[in-house]
Chains A and B, each alone.
Chain A
């Protein structure tokens, strides 16, 4: 895979903001002293007068964004997922979610693929936290193309949006001519009849590769990219589950409260079938190279393949 183009979705975020900035002047970008890491620094370099740094003060970051949004403009608020969804959870809930303000939260460095910084910075709870807020849209793009499309869609969307980006460069997989991003609309990437693999973020690529490996072992897996966790495209999941009868969810997030539980809840009501959740199994992460960590925690192609085989055995 050495020749595959790899881009971190945080970089896509920064570039998409610059592109949007050339087209619209009714938004500003806020960060909390992490502009280089979140890649909002690209926007800052292009439009320094439209960038504001809240400093190391994430609670105020969210409140500032809320106040700006009350005026009918849009505010992008960026920091690491740990601090956006974790530290500032209550500000996001009460100052952004409750008044349903037009704030777009760009949360980067989500999941264990943060790598060497270790558990304190590896947020595996943000999807769970954010999807509990009424009216919050939660998007987890899988690659550069999807991340950029998500930023544009979030800007055009009326209401609060939480976007989850990664630090690790990941392969570009959505560069086909027929790719179309729509908030709340899942994408079937591979047809199959034996099992449905539902994935988000960097696990979409792992799921696709696992499906190819499984095919060689005689297992025909359907792969669905659920880039929007909330609102969840229940139809595409239920329709697939009715066909395959078994579902595996894959996310770089805790198995508690994330994509897996969202899918479980939908299936329990509409199509009860056995479900296996692949994710971070109620443990904290640790320091190490991102790729090695993903392997250790079973969040790569091999891990998904193994989980599916064991599930179907």
Chain B
């Protein structure tokens, strides 16, 4: 797909996120909107996957370590054809396969259950290790939040991945600078992020605009070519990207839009397309 086509898909994904969170009356729109371009690129361009065969043994894997951004993953999976887009309106409803945080046994296309921060990266590292051990060719991608990396387990996993030179593992840090209690600088800064992952033996790629498809494309291409070390792509993103009143506003980390806000958000995203 061209960059423009992927941008249009990402915009549809954003409409799906807003629709899902509005219908759920709760959830995490800010981080989901910010990560929409990255996850869209993964499922529409980067990863070797087949929606008709979601559990194919040699498929590439994606672990949403920042599991609260489930609306973004669900919207991408629906857009990609893993399940009907109408399902997005059942997010967080009783009986829905779309749980508040992703569960691999409920939703087609979800490769790991996540939501408790810091745990997804370990599972992703285990998947990459398994591929190395048994000679599988799939690659494993894992999206982390810049707040999430305050969790100690993240660094346990990073140490292991670096020491084992898991070059079939690609982390992406969604660096939007905000977490629930404020900016990451105010709360308990994990900065400098890139230097930390370099110290843990990662090949680090810094993306100045993680909402720009061309820059995302270049980073994943470089990651794929990187041998002998895992890659960590640190993407500067805008939390709430695409909806003016949500952008860079930590208040929209975990809050659903009301009907009026929903209409405004969908109108803005319609113009984008």
Contact = CB atoms under 8 A, between A and B. Distances in A.
Interface stretch (B42-50, B116-124, B206-214, B261-269): B116-124
B129 interface: yes
A60 B131 CA distance: 17
B153 A59 contact: yes
Contacts of A50: 133
Which of A65, A67, A100 has the largest count of B CB atoms less than 10 A from its CB?
A67
B127 A62 contact: no
B157 interface: yes
B103 A98 contact: yes
Contacts of A242: none
Contact of A55 (B61, B63, B152, B160): B160
Given A59-B152, A59-B156, A63-B125, A95 B119 contact: yes
Interface stretch (B28-36, B75-83, B89-97, B107-115): B107-115
Interface in A99-148: 99-100
Given A57-B159, A59-B156, A99-B103, A75 B113 contact: no
B126 interface: yes
A72 B111 CA distance: 12
A72 B127 CA distance: 11
A90 interface: yes
B59 to A, nearest CB: 11
Given A55-B159, A63-B122, A71-B136, A95 B129 contact: no
Interface in A57-89: 57, 59-60, 62-73, 75
Contact of A67 (B105, B130, B136, B152): B130
A71 B122 contact: no
Contact of B112 (A59, A65, A99): A99
Given A59-B152, A94-B115, A99-B103, A66 B126 contact: yes
Contacts of A60: 122, 125, 153, 156-157, 159-160
A97 to B, nearest CB: 10
Contacts of A64: 122-123, 125-126, 129, 157, 160
B134 A90 contact: no
Contacts of B103: 98-99
Contacts of A69: 126
Chain B binding surface SS class: helix
Interface residues of B, number: 33
A62 B130 CA distance: 14
A171 to B, nearest CB: 38
Contacts of A57: 153, 156, 159-160
Instruction: Categorize the interface residue count of chain A.
Output: 20 to 34
A94 B99 CA distance: 14
Interface string B201-227: 000000000000000000000000000
Nearest to B105: A99
Contact of B122 (A55, A66, A100): A66
Given A95-B122, A99-B105, A71 B130 contact: yes
B152 to A, nearest CB: 7
Contact of A95 (B123, B130, B156): B123
Interface in A146-179: none
A73 B134 contact: yes
A12 B61 CA distance: 36
B122 A70 contact: no
A74 to B, nearest CB: 11
A100 to B, nearest CB: 7
Contacts of A28: 130, 133
A67 B156 contact: no
Interface in A32-62: 50, 52, 54-55, 57, 59-60, 62
A94 B159 contact: no
A91 interface: yes
Contact of A71 (B121, B127, B160): B127
Given A50-B133, A57-B156, A90-B116, 13 more contacts: A60-B159, A60-B160, A62-B122, A63-B153, A64-B122, A67-B124, A67-B126, A71-B130, A71-B131, A75-B126, A91-B119, A94-B115, A98-B103
**Top 3 A-B pairs, shortest CB-CB distance:** A67-B126, A63-B122, A60-B156
Interface of B: 57, 61, 63, 103-105, 111-113, 115-116, 118-119, 121-131, 133-134, 136, 152-153, 156-157, 159-160
